[in-house]
Chains A and B, each alone.
Chain A
């Protein structure tokens, strides 16, 4: 009987000690850098000012390559997830879904260098990066490739989603046209 209680007791503590060890590892390994980095980034955004970045975003909205690369990146860096998507209001309707697709797809690549832009969801990146750290390897080459590849992929996503949106909008208006002509004919 006592053995059972002993067994329960030691495993109860063992289980939570294992969890606690994980927690200490995460807190001491990640939080100190993150606190300083976040402070710096928030300050930089304030010093540069919203209006100057707004101008760059408006400029980049005009060209399709910039619209699905620079524009979503600047929007995220300036307003972070989720307010970044409000910049869609500067675009014509058929580009809005594509802009969102590009912006939201950069939500996690952005955290590899600018965690403040989506600090609430950093574990998509950090969870995997932490595994590399535990192997005593540098996460820098992974971070660079994740960030750059992220840019390429949001461009592909933006361009494709824009095409699909235009196609779907066209099909919808065509349906409306045929319905109205049918009713007129009858």
Chain B
């Protein structure tokens, strides 16, 4: 029997670059290990390729016969078991590589977040073949697929659906937690480490007192803050001060330290937030224009347009923030 090849793309929020599933005579089974029943993704792959679809919870399939496995794993066990066996694994939940077997998961054997509409035929590019593949292959496959539904469909389908929904909610929350911790470890803790070293040095050496003399008139008056934003948004400086908001973040921490020390009055926190950030993103304009699919001509005028606009709106922002800061932290908010 001749099989077709399909390309399985990652779905919304999914991981991986996509897999090509090509069943052949020895590896001819699409295995659905999704808690009983055939997942629509497995069914669609089987329909398109002409391979046989098997419920992995009912029938044990030797790994040599699997052409791919469909799992609904939020990221502990199944997610890594099949990649380790060398079987292409398709996860219907948008999980990334994780769990004790995470090292076996890579872009050549794993894709996640997959939905039925992320699967396309690849070996023919004509639409006619795609249609005929659907028609000819759907027919024989509906016969083995249907008994599952008939045998246990009605009593089990409610629980299957319920467990599917529960699995989706738990899987999503778990994945979100993993992303949150990942963000903390990769971006936030390193910055905290570096800021701690810097502030520790300033506090311990007493440099803070010397800095206060400079920072107080700059950060504690509307004129000082206006001066900061004028310098920051000057078109020659602003693209240099932008990258990663590192400068703005360090200055933010210093201003915070001086507010805590009583050098800068707390209500100046609001205009200060806008004063130290007038140059935000000025380094990134060409890249952002490319992300927005702008033409070269737009990028050419876009860069000066944003830079000139900032020179004006930077000051406007500080003045508005200064006006909005009246009545902030004047006693009523103290705990």
Chain A interfacial positions (CB closer than 8 Å to B): 14-23, 26-27, 30-31, 34-36, 38-43, 46-47, 49-51, 82-83, 85-89, 91, 93-94, 96-101, 104-105, 107-109, 116, 119-132, 134-138, 141-142, 145-146, 149, 152-153, 156-157, 160-161, 164-165, 168-169, 172
Contacts and interface: CB of A to CB of B under 8 A. Distances in A.
18 contacts: A26-B195, A27-B192, A38-B184, A39-B177, A42-B176, A82-B288, A91-B292, A93-B294, A101-B309, A104-B281, A108-B245, A108-B273, A124-B245, A137-B333, A141-B333, A149-B317, A164-B305, A169-B297
Interface stretch (B20-28, B42-50, B61-69, B324-332): B324-332
Interface of A is mostly: helix
A51 B201 CA distance: 49
B40 interface: no
B291 A152 contact: no
Interface of B: 12-13, 94, 172-173, 175-177, 179-181, 183-184, 187-189, 191-193, 195-197, 199-201, 203-205, 244-245, 248-260, 262, 264, 266, 269-270, 272-274, 276-277, 280-281, 284-285, 287-289, 291-295, 297-298, 300-306, 308-310, 312-313, 316-317, 320-321, 324-325, 328-329, 333-335
Given A41-B176, A136-B334, 5 more contacts: A35-B184, A43-B176, A99-B292, A123-B253, A157-B309
A124 B249 contact: yes
Given A23-B196, A96-B294, A131 B255 contact: yes
Nearest to B204: A18
B288 A42 contact: no
A85 B264 CA distance: 35
Contacts of B180: 34-36, 38-39, 42, 116
A19 B199 contact: yes
A95 B329 CA distance: 39
Given A128-B269, A142-B328, A93 B297 contact: yes
